[in-house]
Chains A and B, each alone.
Chain A
Amino acid sequence: MGKMTLVATVSLACLLCTATIALAADPGTEDPNNWPQYNRTTNAWRYSPLDQVNKENVSKLSVAWIAHGGDITMGIQETPLAIDGVIYSITSGDRVAALDGKTGRELWSYEPKLDPLVKKVLFAPYSRGVAVGHGMVFIGTVDGRGIALDQKTGKQMWETHLTDFANCHGCNFTSPPVIAGDVLTFGSTAGELATQGKIFGVDAKTGKKLWEFNTIKDDPHSWPGESGKYGGGGAWMPGTYDADTDTVFYGTGNPGKDFINSERAGDNLYTDSIVALDPKTGQLKWYRQEIKQDVWDYDSPYEVMLFKKDDKNLIVHMNKSGYVFVLDKNDGKIENIWPISDVKNFVKDIDKRTGELIGRVELPMNQETLICPSTFGGRSWNSGAYNPKSGLWYNNVLDFCGYLKPVAQKDDPKDYGTGHTGSNDFGRLVLAPDGRKPGRLDARDPFTGERKWTYEMDVPGFASALTTGGGLVFNGDPLGMLRAFDADTGKVLWSFNTGSGMRSGIISYAVDGEQYILVPSGWGSYAALLLPPLFPQLEKVPAASTLIAFKLAK
Chain B
Amino acid sequence: MTRGFVMVAVVVILIGDVAFSEENIPNLKDPTMIAAGHDLFLGKQCAHCHGADGRGGINLTRRVLDPKGVFQSIADGREKSGLRMPAWRGVLSDDEIWQATAYVLSISQQSK
Report the minimal beta-carbon distance from B35 to chain A, rounded to whole angstroms.
16
Report the minimal beta-carbon distance from A107 to chain B, rounded to whole angstroms.
26
For A543, list chain B residues within 8 Å (CB).
81-83
Chain B 24-54 interface 0/1 with A at a Cβ cutoff of 8 Å (1 = within): 0000000000000000001111011101100
Interface of A is mostly: loop
Is A193 an interface residue when CB atoms closer than 8 A count as contact? no
Is A122 an interface residue when CB atoms closer than 8 A count as contact? yes
Is A14 an interface residue when CB atoms closer than 8 A count as contact? no
Apart from A72-B82, A415-B44, 4 more pairs, CB < 8 Å? A75-B82, A120-B90, A424-B45, A428-B52
Of the stretches A43-51, A304-312, A521-529, the one at the interface is A521-529
- Would A120 and B87 count as touching, CB distance under 8 A? yes
Is B23 an interface residue when CB atoms closer than 8 A count as contact? no
Is B55 an interface residue when CB atoms closer than 8 A count as contact? yes
Interface of B is mostly: loop
Is A418 an interface residue when CB atoms closer than 8 A count as contact? yes
**A373-B111 Cα distance, complex, nearest whole Å:** 38
- In B48-98, which residues have CB < 8 Å from any A CB? 48-49, 51-52, 55-59, 76-77, 79, 81-84, 86-88, 90-91
For B81, list chain A residues within 8 Å (CB).
72, 542-543
For B45, list chain A residues within 8 Å (CB).
417-419, 421, 423-425
For B48, list chain A residues within 8 Å (CB).
419, 425-426, 526, 529-530
**A532-B57 Cα distance, complex, nearest whole Å:** 5
The A/B interface has a contact count, at CB < 8 Å, of 89
Take A424-B47, A530-B48 as given contacts and tell me if A416 and B86 are in contact as well, using a CB distance cutoff of 8 Å. yes
* A binding-site residues for B, Cβ under 8 Å: 72-75, 119-122, 124-125, 407, 409, 414-419, 421, 423-426, 428, 522-524, 526, 528-533, 542-544
Can you list 28 A-B pairs with a CB-CB distance of less than 8 A? A72-B81, A72-B82, A74-B82, A74-B83, A119-B86, A120-B91, A125-B84, A416-B86, A416-B91, A424-B42, A424-B52, A425-B48, A425-B52, A425-B56, A426-B48, A428-B52, A523-B82, A524-B83, A526-B48, A528-B83, A529-B58, A530-B48, A532-B58, A532-B59, A533-B51, A533-B55, A542-B82, A544-B82
Report the minimal beta-carbon distance from B85 to chain A, rounded to whole angstroms.
8
Give the interface residue-count category, chain B: 20 to 34
For A119, list chain B residues within 8 Å (CB).
76-77, 86-87
- Would A425 and B91 count as touching, CB distance under 8 A? no
For A125, list chain B residues within 8 Å (CB).
84
Report the minimal beta-carbon distance from A57 to chain B, rounded to whole angstroms.
34
Which residue on B lies nearest to A530, using beta carbons? B57
For B42, list chain A residues within 8 Å (CB).
407, 424
- Would B47 and A529 count as touching, CB distance under 8 A? no
For A121, list chain B residues within 8 Å (CB).
86
**A125-B86 Cα distance, complex, nearest whole Å:** 10
**A119-B74 Cα distance, complex, nearest whole Å:** 12
Take A120-B87, A417-B86, A417-B88 as given contacts and tell me if A73 and B55 are in contact as well, using a CB distance cutoff of 8 Å. no
